[in-house]
């Protein structure tokens, strides 16, 4: 009941925040001097990436809690957040590619940042392939929790890839430079909106996972 109310509140919040975010991105944010209008993809791209990181962090924490408490509710939380994270990571790769084509003149390049995000994407695709391949509910939860924890190592690698290796990927903040104040405010609002969207999608999927769990239990009861 509490989850249902939170989902409704977040939905109505997003109904206000999303159009406002669009207005700020397309009307208020100034056009970037070198890249032109295509730079506006960044507000979406960075926000999606932050949402994916938040979701995968939730997967990591829930996976640890599952291995510790052995309660399947934490597995439901881990898989729901991993699904949200994978959706956002897919969109990050697509929107990044759509920005790279006019700016770098290529759809894809083997830059460390891009490569580490692609590795993250494959890790979580593997996570769901594994879940689909194991019938035993508890074993499925155990194995995917291990992947959820190990896979998370890639997140700090993505964060520092531009520092550790030679990269052409743009940085959001630079010492003594970076975004102009209006762009920074728009980016901040966009990030907030997408973090709300991430929580909304996670709760939506988590509720579904719990209903699925209940159905499985009832099915077993009728079989017995």
Partner 1 sequence: MENWGYLVGAYTVAWLGVSFYLYVNAKKQKAIEERLSDIEAMLKDRG
Closer CB to partner 1, 62 or 84, in the complex: 84
CB of 107 to partner 1, least distance (A): 11
CB of 203 to partner 1, least distance (A): 11
Closer CB to partner 1, 40 or 157, in the complex: 40
Contact by Cβ (8 Å): 113, 159: no
Closer CB to partner 1, 161 or 197, in the complex: 197
Chain residues in the site for partner 1 (CB under 8 A) = 36-38, 40-41, 44-45, 48, 87, 90-91, 94-95, 98-99, 101-102, 197, 201, 204-205, 207-208, 211-212, 214-215, 218-219, 221-222
165 φ, ψ to 5°? -125, 165
CB of 145 to partner 1, least distance (A): 22
Torsion of CA 150, 152, 155, 156, to 10 degrees: -60
Rounded CA-CA distance 55/167 in Å is 25
Contact by Cβ (8 Å): 26, 216: no
Closer CB to partner 1, 145 or 201, in the complex: 201
Residue burial 159-187, b: 16+ Cβ < 10 Å; e: rest: eebbeeeebeeeeeeeeeeebeeebeebb
CB of 130 to partner 1, least distance (A): 21
CB of 95 to partner 1, least distance (A): 4
């Amino acid at each position: 009941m509490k989850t249902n109310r939170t989902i409704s509140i977040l939905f109505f919040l997003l109904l206000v925040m999303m159009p406002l975010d669009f207005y700020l991105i397309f009307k208020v944010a100034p056009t970037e001097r070198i890249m032109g209008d295509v730079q506006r993809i960044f507000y979406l791209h960075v926000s999606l990436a932050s949402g994916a990181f938040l979701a995968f962090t939730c997967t990591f924490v829930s996976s640890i809690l599952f291995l510790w408490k052995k309660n399947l509710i934490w597995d439901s939380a881990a898989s729901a957040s991993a699904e949200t994270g994978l959706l956002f990571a897919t969109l990050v790769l697509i929107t990044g590619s759509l920005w790279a084509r006019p700016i770098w003149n290529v759809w894809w390049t083997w830059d460390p940042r891009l490569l580490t995000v692609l590795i993250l994407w494959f890790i979580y695709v593997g996570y769901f392939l594994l879940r689909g391949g194991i019938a035993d509910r508890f074993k499925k939860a155990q194995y995917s929790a291990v992947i959820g924890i190990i896979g998370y190592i890639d997140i700090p690698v993505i964060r520092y890839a531009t520092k550790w290796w030679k990269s052409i990927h743009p940085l959001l903040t630079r010492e003594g430079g970076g975004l102009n104040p209006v762009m920074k405010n728009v980016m901040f609002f966009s990030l907030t909106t997408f973090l709300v969207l991430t929580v909304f999608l996670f709760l939506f999927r988590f509720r579904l996972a719990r209903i699925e769990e209940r159905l499985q239990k009832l099915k077993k009861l009728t079989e017995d």
